Amino acid sequence: MPAYKNPALPPGKRVKDLLARMTLQEKAAQMMCVWQEKSQKLVDERGNFDLATAKSHFRQKRGLGQVGRPSDAGGGLNARQTAELTNAIQKFFLEHSRLGIPVIFHEECLHGQAAREATSFPQPIGLGATFNPELVEELFTMTAHEARVRGTHQALTPVVDVARDPRWGRVEETYGEDPYLVTQMGIAAVRGFQADASFKDKKRVIATLKHFVAHGQPESGMNCAPANVSLRVLRETFLHPFKETIQKAGAISVMASYNEVDGVPSHANRWLLRDVLRKEWRWKGFVVSDYYAIWELGYRPDTHGHFVAGDKRESCALAVEAGVNIELPEPDCYLHLVDLVRSGRLKESQLDDLVAPMLFWKFKMGLFDDPYIDPGEAERVVGCDEHRKFARQAARETITLLKNENQVAPLDPTKLKTIAVIGPNAHRSLLGGYSGVPKQEVTVLDGIKARVGDRVNVLHSEGCKITRDGGSWQRDEVFPSDPDDDRKQFAKAVTVARKADVIVLAIGGNEQTSREAWNLNHMGDRTSLDLIGRQDELVEAMVATGKPVIALLFNGRPLSINHLVRQVPVIFECWYLGQECGHAVADVLFGDHNPGGKLPITIPRSAGHLPAFYNYKPSARRGYLFDDVSPLYPFGFGLSYTTFEFTNFRLKKKRIRFNEATQVLVDVKNTGNREGTEVVQLYVRDCISCVTRPVKELKGFRKISLKPGETKTVALDITPESLAFYDTNMKWSVEPGEFEIMVGNSSRDADLTKVILTVTK
């Protein structure tokens, strides 16, 4: 038996033996993937494996590295069908490639697997609002299990981009604007996906950090645009979540980003992918390309190009030299690999270095020895009741109360006869981008009806539209709603609203108004953050009825809701809550759950106020002519149906050496009459420093639950890592001096108590 087929040997030895047996063509094949080409090479029109077609296209028996998104074959397969397909494809490559090398199946798992029947959880921006890493880890443990039982080995998530420009359409995919919060959520997600990376129980998958790097602050807020940031900002803000998540959670894969940094596109950036990622951080994983991004090193006519390569052959060479292990999603530029080696432009040893880690994880996952899954188990696990219940819990924790004037919320259904549920988001799918088709999905209207039953009459009217066709994420062209049709709907909505005791108004954005802009015909970035269409007019019409109005915002990015804030007594930021949306909204609306979400990103007053992130430099927010420089709602903000009091704020040690740690302690009391959660937030500022430092930076948080009258003491660590920064020599160090330590329940100064910590040599 060849050594690579011996399961008793360690993966490293098996890789070495296998590589020595592989031809140049077989190595190149491991660096390629098929996705949409499945329909021409592996499956029939119904999504069933086609042996004759597969034999025809892979007749040279060289194998293949990956198959992308098998669940979308034939227009979308259920759990059992996907498991059966992945088993069949895997069997084919094991038996019909010369060396029997298995494939890796990858899937999108941004907030649950983007597949038919999979459980759909809240979007990451909503999960960021939970400030609950334990919840995020459990959520992605469930996602990994659902994906693995269908045959998936690699998830193209989590997104650990730091979102610093809300005009960007991909904000919803991130955990927000703060590098510390993003890091904690990223670590939790990777632990959920990978656990200890032994993969022995066949319930975990490889996590892929994306997008490496600085994708979250594109020029003009446009997807894929250059990231014009300094080296210090690059390291402290954008590289930080990747570094921490790799070193503390062991992320196995990284996806390079579409954008450029300092004139060098990430897929051709040797400094990023080799010097920083592999040498400096000692990372041993593998880099996947973003879809078609190697092609874009030259020119891709339907979107853009970087023009650092004259053709696909040169793009291939640049990506290999930079350290991109595999090209996704189709064989394209990497079709030139063999020729480039034969011509001397590349060395075969370069391919060996890139193929080896991918083979290592195929061995580590047991794909050579135990590659198949049970379709019956897939049917049992995917979309199960346990996961559905957890999706509801995650959705409840996401909901963030921004305003509750005169304690209009929560509603008491025993005191209501009629509720009017109005708005373009009242009775439609609200999953956001990169979503599958869950077994069940509960709209706001249906959730409210289910909660109140026959005791309260629930009326509904759409009120207006946001975009003309209702908001399909996949549809390329987007049309604004028709003004005349909208105003006709206003009249119907007013008639309905006048019959009600209270109006629940579901507005915001949809999957077309904030999404990944992936080509010139499929846009998703915006110049304005205002409510789209005539939603502000709908708000006015509802307020004019004289009935109390409770606004529910559903959106993928923060919106400048100035008009809404002035007009409406109650506002909830919901982001996208996943399949249990309606149930979670009803739980919060009627007080069955006390909202405890906090904003993971600042809500600015307008697009003209950008950038608006809270951790700005001291000279950055001096003021505007004729306008307020402060945000509409600050990072970390969120109200509750109860109230909390912070007292006895103290440092365990007020003076420490630069290499020592201390703790900040604070007593938190629930001073209201409802049980609730509060997020205790720790911010730090270096008062005098050799380079300018932000006015405050989140360095710790703790989510606690308190019964009425209960008090808990919360201790948060302050370590050298909490105080360090890159000095004038770009050395990561703690500078002796005074540090302002701030603790409270949002980043707003009025919500913080401050004390000075002295650090000495």
What are 435-459's pLDDT values in tens digits?
A: 999 999 999 999 999 999 999 999 9
Which DSSP category does 734 fall into?
P
50 close to 38: Cβ distance less than 8 angstroms = no
Beta bridge partners of 287: 254
- Using DSSP, state whether 145 is helix, strand or coil: helix
Tell me the average pLDDT across 323-343. 98
Please give the pLDDT value at position 385: 98
What are 652-673's pLDDT values in tens digits?
A: 999 999 999 999 999 999 999 9
Please give the pLDDT value at position 164: 98
Q: Where does the pLDDT of residue 753 fall: very low under 50, low under 70, confident under 90, or very high at 90 and above?
A: very high
Please give the pLDDT value at position 474: 83
222 close to 193: Cβ distance less than 8 angstroms = no
- Sign, CA dihedral 408-412-417-422, equals positive
Please give the pLDDT value at position 199: 97
Please give the pLDDT value at position 509: 96
Task: Give the start-end residues of each E strand in 587-661.
Answer: 644-651, 655-657
Q: Where does the pLDDT of residue 86 fall: very low under 50, low under 70, confident under 90, or very high at 90 and above?
A: very high
Position 74 pLDDT exceeds 80: yes
Provide φ and ψ at 453, rounded to 5°. Answer: 60, -140
- Using DSSP, state whether 134 is helix, strand or coil: helix
Q: Where does the pLDDT of residue 583 fall: very low under 50, low under 70, confident under 90, or very high at 90 and above?
A: very high
In angstroms, the CA 208 to CA 187 distance is: 12
Q: 644-760, what's its fold? A: Immunoglobulin-like (2.60.40)
Core vs surface per residue 238-253: b (16+ CB within 10 A) or e: bbbbbbbbbeebbbbb
Please give the pLDDT value at position 669: 98
Question: Six-digit token pair at 68?
Answer: 């992308």
Please give the pLDDT value at position 730: 96
- Closest Cα partner for 449 from 549, 550, 583, 577? 583
Radius of gyration of the chain (CA): 26
Please give the pLDDT value at position 473: 82
Cis peptide before 158 (omega within 30 of 0): yes
Please give the pLDDT value at position 475: 86
**Alpha helices for 335-460 (secondary structure H):** 337-342, 348-364, 375-381, 385-398, 444-452
Which DSSP category does 379 fall into?
H
- With a CB cutoff of 8 Å and minimum separation 6, the contacts of 59 are none
Q: At which residue do the structure tokens 């592996």 appear? A: 42
Question: Six-digit token pair at 350?
Answer: 């370069």
Q: At which residue do the structure tokens 């949809």 appear? A: 510
User: Is 290 part of the annotated catalytic residue set?
Assistant: yes
Please give the pLDDT value at position 558: 98
Please give the pLDDT value at position 661: 98
Domain 385-609 matching CATH 3.40.366.10: the answer reads: no
Please give the pLDDT value at position 469: 80
Please give the pLDDT value at position 470: 74
Question: Six-digit token pair at 576?
Answer: 């996208």
Please give the pLDDT value at position 696: 98
Tell me the average pLDDT across 258-268. 98
Please give the pLDDT value at position 366: 97
- With a CB cutoff of 8 Å and minimum separation 6, the contacts of 572 are 399, 400, 401, 402, 550, 551, 552, 553, 585, 588, 595
Please give the pLDDT value at position 602: 98
Right CATH for 23-381 from 2.40.70.10, 1.10.287.130, 3.20.20.300, 3.90.1150.10:
3.20.20.300
Please give the pLDDT value at position 712: 98
Q: At what angle do helices 348-364 and 312-322 cross, to 10 degrees?
A: 60
Q: Where does the pLDDT of residue 158 fall: very low under 50, low under 70, confident under 90, or very high at 90 and above?
A: very high
- Closest Cα partner for 550 from 419, 394, 396, 392? 419
Please give the pLDDT value at position 246: 98
DSSP run (H or E) holding 85? helix 79-96
Beta bridge partners of 716: 664
Read off the pTM.
Answer: 0.97
What are 586-596's pLDDT values in tens digits?
A: 999 999 999 99
What are 371-392's pLDDT values in tens digits?
A: 999 999 999 999 999 999 999 9
* 72, 161, 290, 332: the active-site residue: 290
How far from each other are the two terminal CA atoms of the chain, in whole angstroms? 61
Ranges of each domain in the chain: 23-381, 385-609, 644-760
Tell me the average pLDDT across 510-539. 95
What are 283-304's pLDDT values in tens digits?
A: 999 999 999 999 999 999 999 9
Task: Bin 176: left if φ > 0, else alpha if -120 < ψ < 50, else beta.
Answer: left
Q: Where does the pLDDT of residue 190 fall: very low under 50, low under 70, confident under 90, or very high at 90 and above?
A: very high
Q: What residue type is assigned to position 739 of the chain?
A: F
